[in-house]
Structures are given as C-alpha cells and as structure tokens.
Amino acid sequence: MKNFFAKFMFAALLTATFSLTSCQEEFEELPDNNDGKSIEATSATATLIKGTSSKDGSYDNIVDGASCFAIQFPYNVTVNGLDITIDSVADLKLIEEILDEIDSDDYNLQIIYPIKITLSNYTEITINSREELVAQAKECIEGGEDDDIECIDFVYPIDLFSFNTNLEITNTTTVESDRQMRLFFAGLGANDIVGIDFPITLEKYDGTKVDVNNNAELAVVLENAKDMCDEDDDNDYNDDDFTKERLDAFLVDCPMILQEIFRDSQEQTEQYLEFIVDFKENGTVITKDNDGNYIEGAWSTNIGVNSKRVELKLEFETLVDFNLEWFVYELNNDKIKLFANGGSDRIILKKYCELSGNNPNDNLSDILGECKWEFTVPSSSSIGVYNVKFLENGTVKFVDENGSVFTIDTFTTWALEGNIIIFYNANQELIAEKWKIRSYTETQMYVDIYNEDEVMYQNVLQRNCEDGAACSDADINEALLGQCKFKITNLDGTFFEELYIDFSNNNIHAYDANNTIADEGNWSLQSGTLQFNSLSMTLANYIGEWNVIECGTDTFKLERGEEIIVLTKACD
C-alpha cells in the first residue's frame, strides 16, 4: 500500500511539474525506476555537466600563466614599462601584439595588485601580490588534465528540475549561463536528483551544433568532448590557435632565420645565430650556418594523441639541439616560436623570404660539377680507389691514381634528387646504388651510400680542384672533331677579335666575323692536354700546350700557366 501511495504521489508531482514548465515532454524518474532518465547529484553525468560549465581560465594565460582561474576585469599591467588597462578579452590581444613585436622572450610583464580572480567553480578570491598568485597557480592542473571540459558548451537557456529522495520538488529553475549551471549543481545535496527539460542544444569548439534528447546522449556527448580539441590549458604565455594545415603552409612558405634557442633553460643562441632553416614540402629540412655548411634533416607535423595540439617533430643526425617534438606557442605572419619540456627548451624562427630564390640544391649541383671528388676512406665505397667527376652534362667520369679519366658502365650518368645523388647505367637504367648527402660544404660531403634502402657505407668526399683533365681524351676528340665551330674567348667572355675555330680533321681553321680565314694550323691531344701547332697569324701567340681543366656539353676551359681561354660550341 505504501509503495502504491508513493508511486501515486510521484505521478502527481510530475504532473504538477509539467504544469509549471509547460514545455517538458518527458521528466526523469527516480533511480529506483531503473529507466536511466534521472541524474543523481553525485553521478558521473553530473560531474561531466559541472566540468562543462566550469569557469575557463585559460584565455588570460598570457597574463597569469594559469588555466584554473581568470583575473576579473578591469585590472592593470605593465609590459616593458608600458601601462595597459585590461577591460576585456580584446585587451589581452593587445598584449599579445606587443609581445609579438619583441624578437625574444626577454620581456617584463607585471600585474598591478590587488586583483580579484575567479576560480573554475566561480569562487572569487582577492590576490594582493605576485607570491599569492604563484601559490594559487600551483593548485592548477595544467596540460588539459583537469576536470573542466572546454571543447563544447551548453546553449542556454536550459530548464532544470531537482527532487529529493522523498519525491519532493526542491527546485525548479531556468539557467542562463555556465555560472548559473555550475552554481545550481554546487547547491545540490548528496541525495538530490536532477531532471533536464530535453531536448537541449550544445555547441562544439568549431561551431557545430548538437541536439541532445536524453541523459544517455548527453553523457556520451560530454565524455567525447573531453579530448576533442586543444583546451589551451598550458602555461606557455602566448598560445595561438591554428590548424596543422596552417602550420605546414607557414613552414614551407619561406626559409627562416634562427633568432633564439634555449635547451634545458640554457641559451645556445650564439652557436646557432642566424642559422638558415629551410623546410621543404617533401619533409626534408635544410640548415645552413654562417660558414656555408649545409645539414639536412627531416620534419613532420601531427596532432598529439594526448595534448590534441599540433606538434612539429625535427630529426637531425648531428644537430641534436633541434631534435625534439616541439609545440608552437606563437605563430604570426612572419615569426614562429616553439617550446618543449614546459618551456625549458624553445626556439624562435623568423621568415627570411629574401632567400627563397637561393635553392641549396642548386648550389650543391654547382659545387658537384666543378671539380673531382676523392673518397676519404677508399675502402668504404663501391668504386674502390677511384675519384669521381660529376660533369655538367650529367655524365660521370672516374679518375685513377695516374690521372687517367675513364667511364664505368654501371655509373654512366648522374642526377640530383633533393639531397640524393642517383645513377644510371649505360642503358640509362636507374641502378640500386644511391648516395645520400647528409651535410656538405664547398670542399667536402658527408654521404651515406645506399643499396636500395639499406646503408652499405658511410664516407666523406673531399673536393680536389688542383689537377688534371676534366674529360677523357675520347670526349675531347668527339667534341672537337664534330661538325661545329668553337668561339674562342677569355674567361670574362671578351677577346681581342671575334674568332671561330674549326677543329675538324685535327686541323685549325680560324674564321673572323666575316667568315674570312684569320689563321691556320693543326692540333693534337694527349692525356687531357691540347697542343696547338703551326699558327702564324692572328693566333700565333696561342701555340703550345693547353690543359683542359673543365668541359661541358657546349664549352671547354683551357689553361696555360695563368692564362685561361674558353671554347664555346657554335653550331650555326
């Protein structure tokens, strides 16, 4: 009988509640009905609701460095001696803009006390000094591990009903804000039970709206929102929001120059000052120091599993100070600031778009083609004791210890793909061996020699520009005995007269601009040395031996003592 009466009274109370609200179609019943429609004050769902309606204190981290409370407006600060009154969130943006103009993190921001702060549960506390603020900040759980849920918000107003275990309505209220929602739950007793007038709407961090029709759906939506976004709960002072795509586009837009680096809170800027850092779209990153040394590494970005923040991973074999997974705490039009390990490690890079036309690989190609290269450890290479010559026309020549130039069928031509030298055989088939250049200067290269994807050797190649023929005798003969004439000039492109030489049949026929014979003679070739003979008129002073010091598809450079002349093919 008592049970029947209790149920009768409960039904009557519900009817009265519906009459009061006129809009709630379905109300939660008491827990002993086992229908899952009620919310107990101490339940997991109630905890999720309180977390979602908590006061977010991360928006002013740039001032107070704490995410579990916020300073109440208005208040005053000084930034590097400049007095600023903070009346709204917009004024916090002004502080960020001021700090963006400072090229380092060496700035002085001071709060003028006393101030009043609001905790996550909307408790208000007066703070009279920096020491009190620091002590309060130590109570915060940073890094997104606290109980507040910031990636989703309730859309108000929302109607709430509460009952006690005696089936009495203890409260009927309409909440208009997070503060009212949190305080409503804070005022509940341990045995109180709450009902929500569904449906209600929530809004995700990206503006997406979600309609919820019952408590089960509400619990799922709030639980999933915990790790949905970066809550900015970190003491990094100036944390800009951005996407992975925006960061990727920023990094590859222009080369950057290093302005500051700290590792383990120790400044290392001097040894890396004005380092050039160039991020490539293929995931490589190339650095250049003030001595012209190039070092290549790899970069990638991803969204952290726990942090839900964009991370930049740098990997170098030698630049260990850069090898970390970095977070970004500032990103504007021309500057990026990175940090790791709570701020003890940080880097500042600034765009240097003036360097965009200076492709390090173009420079590398020029360096490779100038001279022959000698292996420091001949036994740690696939071609033994031979030295290598990378010719401008893409051919590969080898030089033995006697200076003789020859070819090897498996290394006929070469090409540069990023920082990797690839080779083709005589049939123009790509071979398995490739040389990855880890770093280089104008005089040496550090290479990993691969067979397919396996490193077989590591070696250092030294550039040698002092000796010998740049081409084999066969190459020189083939070019000179062809159908084209060659224009003769000095190294700067000038000459005392415009002359074109026909070297066919080992003869020399020099023609002036009017195609009139200006001189005649003959020539011979041995071990990269050209001998000009029997010239008696315009070119009489050029009789003698000339060493071929460089050859390309269309040009030869010849040297005699301090004299250098250039023969450029002219086939018309």
- Please report, for the chain, the start and end positions of each structural domain, with discontinuous segments joined by +: 55-138, 244-355, 364-464, 473-570
* Range of weakest confidence among 41-55, 74-88, 407-421, 479-493: 407-421
Judged on CB neighbours under 10 Å (0-12, 13-18, 19+), 239 is: buried
Q: What is the pLDDT, as a whole number, of residue 286?
A: 87
Most confident stretch, 272-276, 423-427, 548-552: 423-427
pLDDT at 34 over 50: no
Fold agreement between 364-464 and 473-570:
yes
Q: What is the pLDDT, as a whole number, of residue 236?
A: 47
Which is more confidently placed, 440 or 50?
50
Q: What is the CATH number of domain 364-464?
A: 2.40.128
Fold type of domain 473-570: Lipocalin (2.40.128)
Give phi and psi for 161, each to the nearest 5. Answer: -130, 145
Average pLDDT over residues 89-116: 80
Q: How confident is the model at residue 551 (pLDDT cuts 50, 70, 90)?
A: confident
Q: What is the CATH number of domain 244-355?
A: 2.40.128.270
Q: What is the pLDDT, as a whole number, of residue 562?
A: 80
Which is more confidently placed, 255 or 231?
255
Cis bond leading into 31, ω under 30°?
no
Give the HSE-up count for residue 435: Cα atoms under 13 Å, Cβ half-sphere.
25
The one-letter amino acid code at 237 reads Y
Q: What is the pLDDT, as a whole number, of residue 220?
A: 94
Average pLDDT over residues 362-371: 72
Which is more confidently placed, 452 or 508?
508
Q: What is the pLDDT, as a whole number, of residue 14?
A: 39
The one-letter amino acid code at 482 reads G
pLDDT at 399 over 70: yes
pLDDT at 396 over 70: yes
Q: How confident is the model at residue 466 (pLDDT cuts 50, 70, 90)?
A: low
Mean pLDDT rounded to a whole number for the chain? 81
| Residue 30 DSSP one-character state | P
pLDDT at 32 over 50: no
Q: How confident is the model at residue 50 (pLDDT cuts 50, 70, 90)?
A: very high
What Cα–Cα distance (Å) separates residue 57 from each residue in 99, 121, 236, 343? Answer: 20, 11, 14, 20
SS (H, E, C) 257-268: EEEEEEECCEEC
Q: How confident is the model at residue 153 (pLDDT cuts 50, 70, 90)?
A: very high
Average pLDDT over residues 324-339: 86
Q: How confident is the model at residue 478 (pLDDT cuts 50, 70, 90)?
A: confident
Q: How confident is the model at residue 196 (pLDDT cuts 50, 70, 90)?
A: very high
Q: What is the pLDDT, as a whole number, of residue 237?
A: 47
Average pLDDT over residues 66-81: 91
Q: What is the pLDDT, as a whole number, of residue 446?
A: 80
pLDDT at 213 over 90: yes
Most confident stretch, 55-59, 71-75, 368-372, 412-416: 71-75
Cis bond leading into 114, ω under 30°?
yes
Which is more confidently placed, 148 or 359?
148
Express each pLDDT in 511-534 by its tens digit. 999 999 999 999 999 878 899 999
- For residue 3, give the H/E element and its range: helix 2-21
Q: How confident is the model at residue 6 (pLDDT cuts 50, 70, 90)?
A: very low
Q: Other C-beta atoms within 10 Å of 39: how many?
A: 26
Tokens 């009279």 -> residue: 128
pLDDT at 508 over 60: yes
pLDDT at 146 over 80: no
**In 3D, which of 52, 50, 83, 89 has the Cα closest to residue 71?**
89
Q: How confident is the model at residue 243 (pLDDT cuts 50, 70, 90)?
A: confident
Q: What is the pLDDT, as a whole number, of residue 438?
A: 75
**In 3D, which of 347, 340, 473, 323 has the Cα closest to residue 399?**
473
* Range of weakest confidence among 23-32, 394-403, 453-462: 23-32
Q: What is the pLDDT, as a whole number, of residue 380?
A: 61
Average pLDDT over residues 454-461: 84
Q: What is the pLDDT, as a whole number, of residue 566?
A: 92
Give phi and psi for 295, each to the nearest 5. Answer: -130, 130
Average pLDDT over residues 501-510: 94
